[in-house]
Structure 1
Amino acid sequence: MLAAACVLSVAVGSLSVPPGQVWQALSDPSVHTIAAEAVRSRVPRTVLGLLVGAALACSGAIMQGLTRNPLADPGILGINAGAAVAIVIAMAYIGLTSAAQYIWFALAGAGLAAGAVWAIGTGGRGHATPLRLALAGAVLAAVLTSFTQALLLPHAQLLQSFRSWQAGGIDGARFTQIEQVLPFFVIGAAMAACSGPTLNALALGDEIATGLGTHVGRARLFLAVAAVLLAATSTALAGPIGFVGLIVPHAVRAMVGADYRWVLAWCVVVGPLLLLVADVVGRVITRPADVQVGILTAIIGAPVFIGLLRTRRLGEL
């Protein structure tokens, strides 16, 4: 299904191109027709969809295992909002214009937001619970979103570009941009690939995890860095795309069970599948204009998540 989605992502778009011309555009670089250029522009878009879909799905799975909160994802925990604030500051006050330039701001903003959510959730009496973390993330996201709008008010020229980025999309992808931030994806993916056994141990509880030889503090820090790195890099390139990190891990658990080694592996497949299908649908439903993929993932993801809530009991992870 993922292979078929990749083929559709290259072959189908807002401009209708016959299959023969699609193949000609990909196999003969000397052809420079409008159709050929349109087809070639879809290749980096497809690659970015693969990267962002896998990164968001794995980030959501790690966050859910780390916080033992079935509703955790980069949007609900305020990580997207933190990255957005930092990117607006970079755009409005420093003059940065590309993802490769403000990736460091996205990472810093996402990291600070994650740290603030954890500090708020663990402050006061008691310890961090899934409910406290979700409430802390929702409140912080609302505050940061309002702060972002306040920063944009005196910079009207940035409103249009920021609105397009805020909707979440992979259109306009370029291999040069992807290459510049690819190391962050690779590092995050490598950390996620090592996270399965640790998440399985933490799922048993801190005391049992400690008895099995896991240093809980170090493990949580490692997992948090991996999740923030994947989410922030995706947000810097494609904007705050929602629901991928929330529903994909649940859908995967329904298929393969709760073993995080399998959950993370299948998130790499199902996340890109959802994102690419949503992107293809967004290209054809309003031809010749495109609907941002972030809008489509919300439209597709909300009913799916409601269905999961109705059919499965989502307790602490």
Structure 2
Amino acid sequence: MRVTGPFTVESLSPHRVLPTDAEDTAILEALAAETGEPLPPRHKLRTKPDGVPDSGSDFVTAVLDNLAKAGVQNTKKKERLTFATIRPWPGQGTVAAEATYEEAGQPRRAAIVIGPEYGTVGQELVRAAARDCRDWADALIVCGFAFDPQVGETTMNLGRLTVLKARMSQELHAADAYKAGGGNLFVVFGEPDITLDRDAAGLCVVRLLGVDIFDPTTGEVRSSGRVQDDVACWFIDTDYDGDSFFVRHAYFLGGKDPFEKLKAALKADVDQDAWASLYRTESRPFAPPKQGRVAVKVINHYGDEAMRVFKVA
């Protein structure tokens, strides 16, 4: 997410793809028969902006070229996964390339999967890719611009296979970025450790305990030390409908005295009590959701985001 102005927030959020198969047509025909109205005109779903040529193979090649140069970075400066080789995968299926790297001094093989150029990576793609490479790969690296909330803790380890979600920078959409290489173009953001409990009054309280950080140099997953050092902000939709995320609670963290930085940025004094209500890892209590779901979105200092959805009875 990128804040682009005082009242504008830009975000590539997870979305669901509407079905367009025979089952969908049957549903529309049944509705038309029930209402007595004709079928509405059908339009092909647009998966990329108008005027953008169909260059799927060029996009995959560009991503692999940049991945070979930049590697995969986590949120720590010196912890980068660099590849010795990256070769296009000759087989059929979801795997785009095979990569080799070292982990704690031992050679390893990784399967590279590239998500859609315009869209989000879903759980189905991750599980299909895991089936395609589980017999030969030590790690599955899924590169995508955004991920569905379901692509979370349940897919981080599939048997012996470690699954890494590498978020690609939006700069990879630009032609000049394809030639640049380097930089933090591929970042692994660990899964946030979040709990949702009830207080004595029956209200819901969300606690952000930390972030699971994957060290690509050792292959280990560890918990973050201070949450403030790894999380810039986190938001809660206290009544998530499954489609649109509405920010109903907003909390801002960050280390190195963010209070002073905020005062300098606003060029004004800030009410410390009001700031204290926003600078926290435990939410204010809120009523249970009417739709039975609470969504929590966590954003790190690179702008990468992860979202978890809780079902509340």
Shared fold by TM > 0.5?
Answer: no
TM-score (norm 1): 0.24
Larger relative contact order (CA 8 Å, sep ≥ 6):
1
TM-score normalised by the chain length of structure 2: 0.24
- Which structure has the larger Rg? 2
Greater helix proportion: 1
